[in-house]
Amino acid sequence: MAQYADPGAVEWVESGGGPLIVVPEAVLPFWAGADGEDMDTDYDRACEVDGYVGLLPVGDSAALVLGDEPASTAFLPDHGTFVRWSAANSEHELLAEVPAALDTAVWENEVRWNVPGPVVLFDSAWPGDEADRAEHLRVPLEPGRYAVRAAYAKPGPETWLGLVQLRRLTD
């Protein structure tokens, strides 16, 4: 796991080149990554997601694919947001611009995601049951339905970032 500032401040997950994926812990064993006998692997399905986010069936749930580019990604619980580092001179500069980016972002259409509990962010090429051997981040989401929206923002002349915000819905 990459860390750019104080240890433990913000943990970043990086990809080997493909999309990152957020899989509910309950269905991790069902994500095969790039492994498999089929011509169309789970990793291939993740690569086909068009746009900033998409949902793919995994077991009896769904995984959230963070599409577009394989940017270093962290989760900021105070904002309920995955932040994707596209450009910034430092982690401090990038994180300082997040509130402005959230306020000015032009959001894509929301998707609805049913989450059975905590999720794990990792490189979609890895099988889910081996995610703990690669860079990964556990995000302790509460079970429920979430609205997921995504945007790409340029809050400063040298700062560009992707945003994937989760908002828990009340039934």
The string of pLDDT tens digits covering residues 94-133 is: 999 999 999 999 999 999 999 999 999 999 999 999 888 8
Q: What is the pLDDT of residues 66-78, one digit of tens each?
A: 988 889 999 999 9
CA distance 75 to 95: 11
pLDDT at 38: 67
- pTM for the whole structure: 0.91
Burial of 122 (0-12, 13-18, 19+ CB in 10 A): buried
- Alpha-carbon dihedral sign for residues 171, 106, 79, 53: positive
Q: What is the pLDDT of residues 10-21, one digit of tens each?
A: 999 999 888 999
Residue 79 has pLDDT above 50, yes or no: yes
CA distance 53 to 42: 15
